[in-house]
Structure 1
Amino acid sequence: MTPPPPEFEDYDDGEEEKDYEPKNKGGLSQRKKARHKGPLDRFITSPPPNLLNARKERKGIFGACDKELREKTCRGIARFFYDFGLAFNAATLDSFKEMLELVGQYGPGLKPPTMHELRVLLLKKEVDGTKSQIVEYKKEWASKGCSLMSDGWRDSVVQKDLVNFLVNSPKGSVFVRSLDVSEVVKDANLFFDLLDKMVDEVGEENVVQVVTDNASNYVKAGELLEAKRPHLYWTPCAAHCIDLMLEDIGKISYVKSALQKCIFINGYIYSHIPLLNMMRKFTGGRNLHRPAITRFATSFITLAQFHRLKDNLRKMVHYDEWNASKWPKEA
């Protein structure tokens, strides 16, 4: 038998490692043998499993020092957010928490990455890592199937029609590519050819359904795709269906009249700053205009906000400041 390797002496002369004494059911402590640390232990970055609990259980002067140190650290993190104008919800990302954990494991003296490293070296490594993750997603596509999704939108700045293609599976969604379809999207046959090529790229045997908007050209392209590939299903986008339903509802005469009045009042209030401040005083700082992803959803959500705050708005037009102003005298 191979003899066990010799134990290394503890390299840390400043503090001895204490034994951990958990209690069994009978209340007696079971003393664990101290683990002897070797030279490679100084390079291990995994924190002890009870580190967080130990911090929470600190009391007295140690607890106060730990609280002050955390507050100082959090203020430094917050200052970085404020200086660069980062969105506060970035703090909810798992990558943000992972970053802080890795910085804490590294310890003092960390040299931060340079701008060149961020935009060239580290970015290339991250891209390579993402590609390796996609390989795992493709295995999921082959075993459980997937949905090919297209999300069309128009860039109003450069006047181009763009389509983002994504693949969704039980493992999650993956962005595939974004294409300029300005010369394709209006022709159902050309758009069908584009969808057909994307199915081949993802793998015909993997794709269960293709999800697109339900505009007339998309519907025709979906029908052509189902005719060529009988095992595929074309599915209209539910969000786009709801948007078109709201558009049709907005064409009803009394609904259309209410929306027009709502849009006029909203535009009038927001174009006069003193009136806008008065409105916010009566609505508790709430806004009337509630933007959404689509124009029709925005109109109906704003109309619902008017209905919700109608009593406050009625009080405003009976207010002395309103009656003394020029606004009630205007047509």
Structure 2
Amino acid sequence: MLKLILHEDLPARIAGSPFLQPVLQVAAEVGKSVRGPSTYEVTGVYLEEEYKEIQEWVNSFKPILEERSVTIMCDGWKGTRNQHIINLLIYSPRDTEAVIKVDGKMLMQKRRHLYWSACFAHCLDVILEEIGNRKSNEEGLDMQENQLD
């Protein structure tokens, strides 16, 4: 297993995966006759089954999402070390930022590879709003308007 992780450039955290130990136990019970899935089986059969299972799980939340006017958006790419990164964005015109933060923290506790970060667009909007509300900026705008008249 160690050589598989190192030579295939798998993340070291795979050794702590809750899915690994059951696989090793079954392989030990079956013995030398056990064979792993082929590339075709992984990408053509099992991947499709996993996709359908996840799609059903996501669809089970649709009534709740519609009730709360929540939209889930997804963006994905590969990181610098060729690891897949999936960015999930949740938008709701009704939920407050505090509620979303609490929900995000609860999800991070449940899923150890999930991370919450502030929305850049929201942060930029707040910063620009604060800059615009400064007294010195208001005076500067008044002076510009007077010069244009």
TM-score class, shorter-chain normalisation, is 0.3 to 0.5
TM-score by length of 1: 0.23
TM-score by length of 2: 0.45
Structure with the greater relative contact order (CA < 8 A, sep ≥ 6): 1 or 2?
Answer: 2
More helix by share: 2
